[in-house]
Each structure stands twice: as structure tokens, then as C-alpha cells.
Structure 1
Amino acid sequence: MTSEQQAEGHRIERVVARGLVKTFGSTVALRGVHATIDTARLTLIEGANGSGKSTFLGILGTVIRPTSGTVTYAPHADDRALARRSIGWLSHESLAYPDLTGRQNIELAARLHGLSAQTAWREAEERFELGNFATRPLRTCSRGQRQRIALARALVHRPSLVLLDEPTTGLDRPSVARLLDLVVAEVKRGAGVVVVSHEPDLFRDLATARIVLERGRNAVSAPEASTT
């Protein structure tokens, strides 16, 4: 199965979050957040430190379970396992295997998605301009190089929902420009891209939807970003 065929088979069309509450012990991270996220657009999640942005993104990505509330992934309803097949996740840290090379990390991700490792590597090498650094253990690479590997790994299966948590941290200007070009390309491909960033100005011109959180609640939302 090609990455295009797999992506079509598990495509997410819309994500609807209702009444999300998340507590960590006595700390309340989310207090009833509502949001609707569509594909083929960039949604920017904004808010001060501690407002719940990364927790919200983690719930959307199925890596955090809400204490209460629901997330549905049309047309997969609340089937987290099925939805996960069409989610690409880039955490603040790469979460890749540091002792594997960049190429090995990408090929491993491809095999986990039932794709050809060789084809996935060839496509990633060209798209992300991966040089000789991709043949070295990831721990020896720079922040920007690790980020390129992590992005290639996250997008190897052509996900319809792409979640980016602080993707510009530690990147130089050329790397940031490359990232923004990639975000534009993913939206044009039809993916829903959701970004949490401490530099929201970088993404505002590209975003057609915004979700603003304040102390774990919806604060304000631009007209394009439905919260109903």
C-alpha cells in the first residue's frame, strides 16, 4: 500500500472537541474547552504559558486522555486507534530514537505504518533536503537537523491531521522559512494543520482559524474558528 492510498483510507475530515477537562492531580489544565477543527486549513492555538495549549494538542493527538469531555474524528467517531493512523505529531522534543540515524528513524516510522521503508526514505530525503547528517546518530545532529528528521517522520504516512507543538523552537531563520513553506504545502495537500507556538506572529498570516485559551478555557475565537 502506498502512503497516498493509506492516507485516503484513514482520512480525518473534521475534529470536534466538546467540554474537554483535564486534571493532573490537583492541577486543572483544561476547564471545558470546545473547538471544531477542519482539514485543508491552518488552525493556530494561542494563549499564555500555562493556558493549556500543549495539553489540548496532546488530547487531539490521542497521546493524552481527557479527564472528561469528548473528541470525535469524523468519519471515525471516537475511535482513537483508527484516528491515530491519520495523525502526524511533532512534539516540542523530537521523540525520535537518538541512537538511530535519521534515516533509520524515518524508515522505522514507515514500516510501522505498513509502508515501504526505501520509498519513504527516498521521498523524505528529497522533500526535506536531508544531507549526510541523516546517516549519523540523531543525538549528534543539531536542533534544526533533528527537527527536519522529526518532521519527515511525522509526515511519512501523509496524515490528514498534522499537530505541531512549538515547531520553531531553536530553529534559525532558514529553517523557520522551510517550516512555513512545509506548513503551506500540507494545507494545500488537504491536511488540517494545528500549531501551538510561542511565536504566533509567524503563523497568523497563514492561519484561517484561531483558538485562544486562557487559564484552560476558551477565551476568544476568530470568526473562522468555530467553537460551536
Structure 2
Amino acid sequence: MSITGTLKQVKHEDRIHTEADATNPTILVHHLSKAFGTLFALKNVNLKIHRGEFLAIFGPNGAGKTTLIRILATLTRPTSGEIFINGYSLNSDSEKIRRQIGVIAHQTYLYDELTAEENLRFYGKMYDVKDLNAKIARIIAEVGLGLRRRDRVRTFSRGMQQRLSIARAMIHDPSILLLDEPYTGLDQHASEMLTEWLKELKSKDRTILMVTHDLDRGIDLADRVAIIHQGKLVFEEERSNIEAKTFREKYYHFVS
């Protein structure tokens, strides 16, 4: 289906405005490719994610998972293709898109010489968060770092940094979450906390895209599952239509 056929569009100064319609995807990826020199990390990827949907994309290392997240997060430019997030074009409205997404990835995007509180205050001001002090106090307690809130991030363990990264991603209450192997480096407490948060956000109509090689967690959380291999989406299905055992068999068939 073409972009025109998928979205109800009105062109205006390079921005795509969409009508408030449940049939319009929150994230629309159309013929996306990304090349590094002659090597393609992504090849002609087409993807739609609707509001409130949790899509888990599975793939081995080097499959293109991180590249996809970085492009959707406006951190990397695509080689070709079109992307619309909440009706905004990635090509012309990246700043508006950033205000609507939260990203949890390998890189924490934290400043080592700032304290936990200072990091959250920096990001909170960048996103114009209201009642910022109260929001910081609440969210830093939720990630279990209340006693370390005035310590510099460089003194934190990897697991503690990942906890603070979760708080950073949530400080502006984004409607869309982009997760790149979010459980990497988390201790058991932080992993359980992240799982409960994701379940709660899912129940509150947030749109979530998680890329991972962790089949168990992804299958448990997702509404829809997909497989990416060698830069291509090779399988996609509603979670309710496929049993976990069958999906695992398909995954290992594609990536082996």
C-alpha cells in the first residue's frame, strides 16, 4: 500500500498532517534502506505500528535492529525511504518527533560528570516538563536511586546507569517508546521493574517498539512479533495467532 493510501494526508510545508483516526499508524516506515558504503544494514523495510501496539522485532547481532531504532529515534539518517511518526515526517520534523519518543538503548545518553538529578533535570528542561522537581523525585525513587540522586553518574555501576537511563527515557512521559535490547546490563530488580513498567505503559495506550534477541521476554510482552535478518523483515504475525513454540521454530529457521 502506498503512503497516500495508508495515511489521510494534507501537504503543508513539507509536513504530513493526519486526521485523528485509529486506522492511521503511529509509526509508518515505507521502503526504508540504510547503507554504510556498499553494505546495507537495512533493505527495503516496510512497517506499520498502530497506537497502543507493542511490536517486538527479533534478530541476531548484525541483523539491523539497532540501525532501525537509531533511524526512528532521529539519530541516524536513512539512505532512502520515508518515515512518519504521529504524522510527522522524519525528513522535515525530527525535532517534533523527538519530543514524542523515549529511547532506551545500549548507550545510556547520560552525562558522567553530572549527578542523577542533574541528568534528569537537563532532559526535563529540554522537553519542557511541568512540575519538574516533583517528577524527578518520583521517577528517581521508582528506579531505586533515591539514595544516590546526588551522586555523579560516573560512580554508578552499569546496572544503576541503565536504571537512570530508563528514568531519562520516561521523564517527559512519551507516547512512543523505542527499546533497543533494553534488558542488557540490568540487574534482576531493574529487569523486573522494566517489565512491570512496560506492561503498565502498554495498558495506557502507549506505542512500543522493542528490538531484541531475548525471545522469552519479547514474546511475553508483545502484541505482534516480527523477525529481522540481514537487514530485511522476513516474518511478521499477531502474537495471538502464533504459539511461542512455533515462533521460536520460525526464528531459528530464519536465522540459522
The TM-score range, normalised by the shorter chain, is 0.7 to 0.9
Partner of 1:7: none
Per-residue deviation, residues 49-97 of structure 1 (Å, max 9, x unmatched): 1110110111111111110001012333442221211010112121200
Partner of 1:35: 47
Could you tell which deviates more after superposition, 68-77 or 31-40? 68-77
Matches within 5 A, 1:100-115: 100-115=114-129
Partner of 2:208: 193
Per-residue deviation, residues 180-221 of structure 1 (Å, max 9, x unmatched): 011111112221111122323112111001221111111011
CA RMSD across the alignment? 1.9
Equivalenced residues, count: 214
Matches within 5 A, 1:208-219: 208-219=223-234
Paired with 1:139 and 1:117, the residues of 2 have a C-alpha distance of: 23
Alignment partner of 2:191 out of 166, 171, 176: 176
Q: What code does the residue aligned with 1:127 have?
A: E
Return closer, same or farther for 1:13/1:88 CA change in 2, 3 Å cut-off: farther
Higher relative contact order (CA 8 A, sep 6+): 1
Partner of 1:75: 87
Q: What code does the residue aligned with 1:133 have?
A: R
Matches within 5 A, 1:5-44: 14-44=26-56
Q: What code does the residue aligned with 1:111 have?
A: K
Greater C-alpha Rg: 2
Return closer, same or farther for 1:224/1:204 CA change in 2, 3 Å cut-off: closer
Give the percent of matched residue pairs that are identical in Structure 1 and Structure 2.
Answer: 30
* Other structure's SS at 2:62 match: coil
Q: What code does the residue aligned with 1:52 have?
A: G
Matches within 5 A, 1:32-71: 32-71=44-83
Give the C-alpha shift of residue 107 in structure 1: 0.9
Q: Which runs of 5+ in 2 are unaligned?
A: 1-23, 241-256
Could you tell which deviates more after superposition, 61-70 or 198-207? 198-207
Q: What code does the residue aligned with 1:209 have?
A: R
Paired with 1:223 and 1:198, the residues of 2 have a C-alpha distance of: 18
* Other structure's SS at 2:103 match: strand
Structure 2 length normalisation: TM-score? 0.78
Per-residue deviation, residues 148-205 of structure 1 (Å, max 9, x unmatched): 1111111111101111111111222222111101111111222111112232311211
Per-residue deviation, residues 104-129 of structure 1 (Å, max 9, x unmatched): 10111111111243122122133323
Give the C-alpha shift of residue 41 in structure 1: 2.5
Alignment partner of 2:103 out of 61, 74, 89: 89
Runs of 4+ residues over 6 Å off in structure 1 = none
* Other structure's SS at 1:98 match: coil
Paired with 1:220 and 1:112, the residues of 2 have a C-alpha distance of: 38
* Other structure's SS at 1:70 match: strand
CA contact (8 A) 1:106 1:120 kept: no
Structure 1 length normalisation: TM-score? 0.87
Per-residue deviation, residues 13-43 of structure 1 (Å, max 9, x unmatched): 6100011100112221011001111232221
